[in-house]
Structure 1
Amino acid sequence: MPIEPDIARIAATIGDASRLRMLVLLMEGRALTAKELALGAGIEPGTATSHLRRLVDDGLLESTSQGRHKYFRFASEQVAQLVETLMRVAPKRKSLPKATQDDPIRRARFCYDHLAGSLGTGLLATLLRKKWLTPDSAGTGQLLVTPAGEKSLRAFNLDLEELRGRRRQFACTCLDWSERQDHLGGALGAALADHFTQQGWITRKKHSRLVLVSAEGAAHFKRLGIKLPV
């Protein structure tokens, strides 16, 4: 008999409130210890251990030991996309004020390791408008780099062949939960975000997904034609 994905098992794993809070914490893109995840999820370390074991057993997280500590991170890019999708479709809490365009989390943030928010959607819109990227005709959400894009993206010191050889999607659309538009995911999206960070165009707020754009970065983004969040 063909082996089918056990969707019910994964749904039950993610459906636990404590485990889901841990997954949301890991959307920062940093590997976290069991203690940090327990604190962030508001549970005891002993309880966190059993939750983390289930997340690892079900292929959602992976762990790495370093010295006395064990660090946990997403097992794959697809897990981050799954959490982002849940954030997008989940109903908003009525007790919270409605998000507005000037909310920092909407202006610019990381979606795991690539840019999201209006900065992220603006980046993808610009790359498509300049015809550096083009949607795959198969309608799979994958993006192809055009000849013009190959030349222009290499100017950012990106090794496109190396990025294509990674064990993840090369370039894909990722529907942004706050903007309801696509931002750029995959290895290419992560590489561009890393390049912008190394150049000092953006900085990441400590222990947060929030992104701040420097004055130098704002000038570069403007020259690229990227509409910056106000």
Structure 2
Amino acid sequence: MKDGPNIVAIAALIGDHARAEVLTALMSGMALTATELAEIAGVSRQTISSHMAKLLEAGLVAVEAQGRHRYFRLANEDVAQLLESLMNVAFRSGALRLRSSPREPALRKARVCYDHLAGELGVLVYDRLLQAACLTVGEQGMALTAHGQQVLSQIGITPEDLTPGKRPVCRHCLDWSERRHHLAGLLGNLLLLRFTALGWGRRLPDSRVFAFSAGGEQNLLRWLSDADRQHSSKTNHNDIISQGTSC
């Protein structure tokens, strides 16, 4: 019985080498021209135009015209999540590049996954926020707690910034290099923007690498430690009140 959507066409589009290189490059969240994408994919301008037309028709990418140039980007977060999941499966199955980039270690430590932080430090942020009860995971999915809002306000993210729209405030995304989850959704994007605005790190040119400075990484770890310490303090205080009430 042939039920559900047909994945053959989408799988074939992503499975082409040149188009796979294009989609991977667009995982940086940046919009790129056809010329830039042709260079990345190692094909001619005429060939990349054909590839981009197919990706546009399938809804995997979107295009925006600015002056004489047309800029391509991933169509939405769902496409980015699909690609990150495929990278995870490829990594787990041993489908690695024959020659790794010199930036590979930095890419695994911290990188941009569409519009949020991934890699070792991205997973660390997710784990520590869960540990500090800034996030909860239940039957209704993931949610931000009141304590989490207080912790976020310490780096300049306000409740107004977290007004839900078409995308969820927070969700997890399976990280291909760590094989664990990092934080995505609106909150994941806001955190990446704040880390940049605070000067803790920056996106490297022509790369998905997000490079934290030594001081920036220390500030990140200090912020996460403070969140955990504040949670522990509140928990201990509540325990004391509870014990005193029951006596």
TM-score, normalised to structure 1's length?
A: 0.88
Pairing 1:95–2:98 present: yes
Shift in Å, 1:151: 2.1
User: 1:41 — aligned with what?
Assistant: 41
C-alpha distance in 2 between matches for 1:73 and 1:160: 29
Q: Which moved more, 1:122-131 or 1:145-154?
A: 145-154
Give the counterpart letter for 2:124 in structure 1.
Answer: G
Pairing 1:63–2:48 present: no
C-alpha distance in 1 between matches for 2:194 and 2:221: 16
User: 1:105 — aligned with what?
Assistant: 107
User: 2:118 — aligned with what?
Assistant: 116
Secondary structure at 2:199 match in 1: coil
C-alpha distance in 1 between matches for 2:171 and 2:64: 28
**Number of positions where the alignment pairs a residue of Structure 1 with one of Structure 2:** 218
Q: Which moved more, 1:179-188 or 1:144-153?
A: 144-153
User: 1:21 — aligned with what?
Assistant: 21
CA contact (8 A) 2:201 2:212 kept: yes
Residues 23, 182 of structure 1: CA spacing in aligned structure 2 closer, same or farther, 3 A cutoff? Answer: same
Shift in Å, 1:6: 2.9
C-alpha distance in 2 between matches for 1:33 and 1:169: 29
Secondary structure at 1:28 match in 2: coil
CA contact (8 A) 1:32 1:73 kept: yes
Alignment of 1:1-230 (within 5 A): 4-90=4-90, 91-93=94-96, 95-96=98-99, 103-138=105-140, 142-225=141-224
C-alpha distance in 1 between matches for 2:35 and 2:97: 31
Shift in Å, 1:32: 0.3
Q: Which moved more, 1:161-170 or 1:75-84?
A: 161-170
Shift in Å, 1:94: 7.2
CA contact (8 A) 1:200 1:216 kept: no
C-alpha distance in 2 between matches for 1:93 and 1:147: 42
Q: Which moved more, 1:112-121 or 1:165-174?
A: 165-174
CA contact (8 A) 1:108 1:120 kept: yes
Q: Which has the higher helix share?
A: 2
C-alpha distance in 1 between matches for 2:171 and 2:155: 19
CA contact (8 A) 1:136 1:143 kept: yes
User: 2:240 — aligned with what?
Assistant: none
Shift in Å, 1:223: 1.3
TM-score, normalised to structure 2's length?
A: 0.82
Secondary structure at 1:203 match in 2: strand
Gaps in structure 1 of 5+ consecutive residues? none
